Amino acid sequence: MKTTVVTFLLLCTSMPTVLSAQPAKDLFDAQQAARQHERDLTQGLELAHEAANELRLLLQVEATLGDPEVTPVTALDRAIDQMDHHDRELQRRRANLPTDMHRTIASARDILFQARIAVPTDITQLRDRWHHEVVHPMAKRVFQDTRAINNLLAAYAQIENTLRQAEYGELAALAGTENLPAIP
């Protein structure tokens, strides 16, 4: 039993996000550390969620730019409106985006405004530029976030397996108390 608890504690302390924390002295401390760790993850997970939202926006704008039902000028106007609406929504939610995402969105907005000033009759090249200069970098970031989430899931699966082994050891020890002869 002690070896599984020690293994669990060693596993927790070996995780990079827990390295700065004090090791748990007992299971109560381990529960407190787990709760704190969950709170520590919240901001990172929110940023990953916001990155995915930004990618969705950029893909919606790309679809708007490629809409064959409207003129290029109308498509650009709608794309700019989508960006503006999204920006207002971010401000309303008080979303805290990292600087690199702000730069990406500002760069994307500039691409749209420059194209709007030129009043193009065909925006195929603009869509291609949008896809490669705006969508690809954001997709790469979302992919990296997904990989990091998968790594966290693997670490937590290992922690869960260690906890299950500890639980089975504890339950086996408790089951052994039922087989003792009665005390007179």
Tell me the per-residue pLDDT of 50-59, one tens digit each, with 9 for 90 and over.
999 999 999 9
User: What would you measure as the largest C-alpha separation in the chain, in angstroms?
Assistant: 98
Contact 51, 145 (CB under 8 A): yes
pLDDT tens string 141-164: 999 999 999 999 999 999 999 999
In percent, the amount of the chain with pLDDT more than 70 equals 85
Residue 69 confidence class, pLDDT cut points 50, 70, 90: very high
Contact 80, 141 (CB under 8 A): no
Tokens read off for 129? 């530029």
Cα dihedral: 106, 112, 116, 121 (round 10): 170
**Helix axis angle, 27-65 to 2-14, nearest 10°:** 40
What does the alpha-carbon distance between residue 27 and residue 89 come to, in Å, rounded to a whole number? 43
**Helix axis angle, 136-177 to 27-65, nearest 10°:** 150
pTM summary value: 0.75
What does the alpha-carbon distance between residue 32 and residue 14 come to, in Å, rounded to a whole number? 17
